[in-house]
């Protein structure tokens, strides 16, 4: 049943209108209805000829009076012995490279986010995937040698849990033309190919980058280095680069701010629905039942053990553990390099507690690419991270996109009509779950970064919350109630694109066209002004409410909503970790104490968002000590 599969993947990773997907569903998807440029045949335009450090490229004329260059390599193919290595330089070319179509996505299990044809269970993409795309206004690009006309650069990092996704979906023509910026998007390695730490790889590496395990993050850093070396020829200002991304893309933005290797490569940052979770090497590598430092069920040792079972080298997990402990680093490395992406994905799914979700330990605190300290500690001192102006925000109902596919909360009548079982319970848990996004990847980060500045006058952190929930209601699904301002909904507004890209059918009704376009224009103007100046201010054309920096006890958050629901305006919104803990402690609606304990663990220990604020003593004493009988790791369904 194609819809169910698509629904689960979408809700877990990008959360785009789950109920709608069930309404549309089937086992595969017609990409022509979702992606408008993937299969397009573009005609090379001689005016777009540019000379990069690696060789000449030619693009094409795109819509909105822009030029586009698709599929420019920024790193050598990370294949064979380069698989788990930092990206290497591209081999130069002499003949013009026709940059007319999107490159393959990086290897991943099929979902619509790959922008590839397929069905559930397929592996799509290619390991040769380190390519980027560029859009630029034609007027400036035609005279790109004039230094006085250089435009800000906005580099987009796609979401997908660092397991899924592709640059293909994101067309930069609207934002490039309307905001007069150079738009760049990129592919980066995903899943175990993008994040894997193991002694066998670490001990056989020849430099700290190769040993780090943070290969996807290193790809993004390599793309930023490419921008520094080449973006001038496309009309961009290498001294004015904004990195921005959504979901895992926002999480990677935080990682760039923390990475000493990214210092000086960007100058502003925007995290949309990001998170601040990182992993220690022990949690990412060790067997999950090790006594001293247990790892996750999806750790690299568990992966290797499962591969040994799948290859009939070991008969069961106990034997596989013995083999892993006795094998040399060279033998394990050799085994890993021989595996196909399909074999790695299969083994990962077999180790996961919840096999509907593909998880990997990611953003590894290796001490070189990323600091050894958690982000909550790193961002407490402006001297320990890349302190640049930043916009941080999330959507009001982030988690509803996932809850809409959760049988605990929703059932399907007649096979597809979505019905909320208990509306009060649904709204209550939606607020709990969504607040994790707001606090752990939002207000706490704003609070830490603001407090790290030498003086209040140097505060350049801006907060937002996206509240638009005017999707259509129908007999099949009440989307405003079911999904609301769900995860990923703001992307179309930022890109000014309600017809292509990540847009899904029936998401937008004709009756909301004017209000959507007005809100989209406002958001694009704020993002554009921020890219130009480092402050969203009153927007690109100085006609909007003034977006002022974060402050604890003042209007500190820009709310984005339809005009009918208050429009875009500043409000005070400062939820904290303590607010979350207090609410869980005092809530009298839990049906049993175990539910309270599980929610606490899901919020602060094993969530996607962060474990930096986990307090085992507070957990033990929660509600008079009622959680002492529950080992927090029994709730590890997410992994």
Beta pairing class for 417-420 and 461-466: unpaired
Shared domain for 331 and 406, answered yes or no, is: no
pLDDT at position 35, please? Answer: 37
Tell me the CATH number at 99: 3.40.50.1820
515 assigned to some structural domain: yes
Shared domain for 567 and 602, answered yes or no, is: no
357 assigned to some structural domain: no
* Dihedral sign for Cα atoms in the order 513, 514, 518, 519: negative
Mean pLDDT of the chain: 90
User: Got the DSSP string for 56-118?
Assistant: EEE-EEETTTEEEEEEEE-S----GGGTTSPPPPPPP-SSPEE-BSPPPPPSEE--GGG-S--
- Say what percent of the chain tops pLDDT 70: 90
Query: Would you place residue 112 in the very low, low, confident or very high pLDDT band (cuts 50, 70, 90)?
Result: confident
pLDDT at position 355, please? Answer: 63
Shared domain for 405 and 453, answered yes or no, is: yes
Shared domain for 190 and 286, answered yes or no, is: no
Residue 32 has pLDDT above 60, yes or no: no
Residue 50 has pLDDT above 60, yes or no: yes
17 assigned to some structural domain: no
Shared domain for 456 and 334, answered yes or no, is: no
619 assigned to some structural domain: yes
Query: Would you place residue 542 in the very low, low, confident or very high pLDDT band (cuts 50, 70, 90)?
Result: confident
pLDDT at position 173, please? Answer: 96
> Which residues touch 24 (CB under 8 Å, ≥6 apart)?
3, 6, 504, 505, 506
178 assigned to some structural domain: yes
What are the strands, taking DSSP E only, across 310-425?
A: 390-395, 410-413, 417-420
361 assigned to some structural domain: no
Other C-beta atoms lying within 10 Å of the C-beta of residue 611: 18
Which residue, 253, 272, 291, sits at the end of a domain?
272
603 assigned to some structural domain: yes
Shared domain for 425 and 297, answered yes or no, is: no
12 assigned to some structural domain: no
Shared domain for 626 and 520, answered yes or no, is: no
Shared domain for 147 and 192, answered yes or no, is: yes
pLDDT at position 328, please? Answer: 97
Distance CA 466, CA 458 (A): 26
- Say what percent of the chain tops pLDDT 90: 77
Shared domain for 208 and 329, answered yes or no, is: no
Higher per-residue confidence, 552 vs 51: 51
Which residue segment(s) compose the domain that 115 sits in?
A: 34-272
Number of alpha carbons in the 13 Å side-chain half-sphere of residue 314: 19
pTM above 0.75, yes or no: yes
pLDDT at position 101, please? Answer: 95
Shared domain for 298 and 239, answered yes or no, is: no
Closest CA to 628 of 639, 636, 616: 616
Which residue, 272, 300, 335, sits at the end of a domain?
272
Looking at the structure of the chain, the number of domains it has is 4
Which residue, 219, 249, 272, sits at the end of a domain?
272
Across residues 275-290, what is the average pLDDT? Answer: 96
Q: Is 79 exposed, middle or buried (0-12, 13-18, 19+ CB in 10 A)?
A: exposed
Residue 562 has pLDDT above 70, yes or no: yes
Query: Would you place residue 120 in the very low, low, confident or very high pLDDT band (cuts 50, 70, 90)?
Result: confident
Shared domain for 117 and 136, answered yes or no, is: yes
Residue 144 has pLDDT above 70, yes or no: no
Shared domain for 555 and 633, answered yes or no, is: no
């Amino acid at each position: 049943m194609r819809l169910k599969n698509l629904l689960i993947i979408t809700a877990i990773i990008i959360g785009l209108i789950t109920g709608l997907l069930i309404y549309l569903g089937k086992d595969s998807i017609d990409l022509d209805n979702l992606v408008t440029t993937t299969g397009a045949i573009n005609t090379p335009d001689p005016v777009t000829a540019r000379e990069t450090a690696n060789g000449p490229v030619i693009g094409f004329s795109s819509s909105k009076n822009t030029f586009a260059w698709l599929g420019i390599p920024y790193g050598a193919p990370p294949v064979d012995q380069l698989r788990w290595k930092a990206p290497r330089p591209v081999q130069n070319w002499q003949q013009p490279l026709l940059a007319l179509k999107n490159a393959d996505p990086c290897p991943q299990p099929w979902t619509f986010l790959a922008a590839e044809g397929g069905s559930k269970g397929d592996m799509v993409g290619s390991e040769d995937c380190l390519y980027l795309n560029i859009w630029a206004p034609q007027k400036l690009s035609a005279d790109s040698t004039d230094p006085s006309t250089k435009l800000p650069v906005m580099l987009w990092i796609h979401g997908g849990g660092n397991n899924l996704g592709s640059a293909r979906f994101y067309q930069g023509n609207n934002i490039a033309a309307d905001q007069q910026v150079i738009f760049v998007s990129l592919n980066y390695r995903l899943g175990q190919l993008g994040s894997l730490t193991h002694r066998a790889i670490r001990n056989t590496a020849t430099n700290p980058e190769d040993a780090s395990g943070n290969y996807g993050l290193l790809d993004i850093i390599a793309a930023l280095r490419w921008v520094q070396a080449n973006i001038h020829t496309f009309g961009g200002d290498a001294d004015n680069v904004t990195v921005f991304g959504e979901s895992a893309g926002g999480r990677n933005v935080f990682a760039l701010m923390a990475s000493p290797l990214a210092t000086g490569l960007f100058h502003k940052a925007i995290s949309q629905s990001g998170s601040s979770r990182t992993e220690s090497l022990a949690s990412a590598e060790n067997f999950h039942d090790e006594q001293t430092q247990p790892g996750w069920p999806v750790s690299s040792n568990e992966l290797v053990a499962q591969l040994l079972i799948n290859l009939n080298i070991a008969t069961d997990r106990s034997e596989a553990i013995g083999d892993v402990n006795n094998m040399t680093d060279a033998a394990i490395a050799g085994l890993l390099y021989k595996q196909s992406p399909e074999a790695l994905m299969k083994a990962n799914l077999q180790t996961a507690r919840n096999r509907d979700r593909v998880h990997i330990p990611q953003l590894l605190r290796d001490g070189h690419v990323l600091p050894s300290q958690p982000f909550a500690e790193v961002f407490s001192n402006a001297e320990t991270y890349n302190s640049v102006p930043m916009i941080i925000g999330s959507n009001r109902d982030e988690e509803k996109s996932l809850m809409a596919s959760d049988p605990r909360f929703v059932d399907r009548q007649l096979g597809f009509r979505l019905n909320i079982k208990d509306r009060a319970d649904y709204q209550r848990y939606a607020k709990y779950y969504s607040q994790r996004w707001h606090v752990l990847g939002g207000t706490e980060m704003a609070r830490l970064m603001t407090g790290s500045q030498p003086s209040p006058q140097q505060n350049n952190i801006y907060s937002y919350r996206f509240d638009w929930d005017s999707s259509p209601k129908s007999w099949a699904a009440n989307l405003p109630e079911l999904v609301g301002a769900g995860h990923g909904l703001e992307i179309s507004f930022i890109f000014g694109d309600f017809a292509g890209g990540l847009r899904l059918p029936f998401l937008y009704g004709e009756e909301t066209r004017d209000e959507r376009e007005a809100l989209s224009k406002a958001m694009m103007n704020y993002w554009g002004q921020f890219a130009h100046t480092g402050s969203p201010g009153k927007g690109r054309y100085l006609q909007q409410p003034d977006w002022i920096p974060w402050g604890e006890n003042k209007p500190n958050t820009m709310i984005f909503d339809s005009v009918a629901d208050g429009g875009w305006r500043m409000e005070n919104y400062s939820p904290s970790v303590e607010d979350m803990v207090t609410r869980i402690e005092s809530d009298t609606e839990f049906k049993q104490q175990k539910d309270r304990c599980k929610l606490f663990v899901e919020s602060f220990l094993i969530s996607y968002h962060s474990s930096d604020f986990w307090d085992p003593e507070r957990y033990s004493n929660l509600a008079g000590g009622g959680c002492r009988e529950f080992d927090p790791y029994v709730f590890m369904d997410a992994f």
